[in-house]
Amino acid sequence: MLLSSLFSAVNGALAKILSEDLSALEIVFFRNLIGVVFIVLMLKHTPGKFSYNHVGSLILRGVLGFSAMIMFFYTITSIPLGVAITLNKTSPFFVAILAFLLLNEKASKTSIAALFIGFFGVMLITKPQGFNLIDYDHLLGILGGFFAAAAYTTIRKIKDHFDSRVIVLSSMMSGTLLPLLLFLLAHVYTPPSYLKFLISEFVMPESHTVWLFILLMAIISTLSQWLLTKAYSSTKVTVIGVVSYTNIPFAIGFGVMLGDAFPDIAALCGIALIVLGGLLVKRAA
């Protein structure tokens, strides 16, 4: 899990480097396109379980996964790497809320306390002032956490009907096909400034260095997911949950190396509270 967290932070750093040449939408497209090839080859070698009666839920999971990914990669390009990854870590709070609202799971006192702790941590990071609440980039980071939580919640409803590789493929297919549609849309529609991260023209990379980073990001991302799976199958989920948060200090370190400002005291306290809240949610689950 420690290695998975390290590779996850490296993946974020590579995305930040690539953002100098590619839009967030292009980064998502290439990351998923290469991933689709890997997963299809795996399924061709060893077919997995597939239920035609639940295809709609599978497609929904893919769309939610894409929504989470595009917002996550956009925030990586627009705010410090450590903060972007921390805001994405708000997903356990939204999972708890959605499980209560949609899956009729009970909310314990611990999980309710964790939600308040996490919410206060978000406030310390985003520093809302008066009526100028959360700025747009931070808001998209939090929305990315929400869509990630919605995708996780959907997985809990379809995990018995599909092979795990099929579920991953649904997200990667959405992350490939939807960007293609958005690239085409950019030729006939000029989006307002707040949607430019979502609707942008495709520009084919020409630099060999950019292609090398794209391939490296896909490999490292796949390796991180494999290590994550191995970790969850090897020991207690609570232990893994604790170690998974080490990708935040890794991300802060890589972000500073790439030119991000080191988080101030308020932001560090906010990060700590989000980690504490996330751990409490996992413990209460």
Could you give the CA distance from residue 165 to residue 226 in angstroms, rounded to a whole number? 11
Least confident of 19-23, 93-97, 143-147, 266-270: 93-97
Could you give the CA distance from residue 157 to residue 152 in angstroms, rounded to a whole number? 9
pLDDT classification of 115: cutoffs 50, 70, 90: confident
With a cut of 60, say whether residue 23 has pLDDT above it.
Answer: yes
pLDDT classification of 21: cutoffs 50, 70, 90: very high
Q: What is residue 236's predicted lDDT score, i.e. its pLDDT?
A: 60
Q: What is residue 111's predicted lDDT score, i.e. its pLDDT?
A: 80
Prediction pTM value: 0.84
pLDDT classification of 240: cutoffs 50, 70, 90: low
Mean local confidence (pLDDT), 230-238? 62
Q: What is residue 253's predicted lDDT score, i.e. its pLDDT?
A: 93
Domain extent listing, the chain: 2-284
With a cut of 90, say whether residue 13 has pLDDT above it.
Answer: yes
pLDDT classification of 218: cutoffs 50, 70, 90: confident
Q: What is residue 234's predicted lDDT score, i.e. its pLDDT?
A: 66
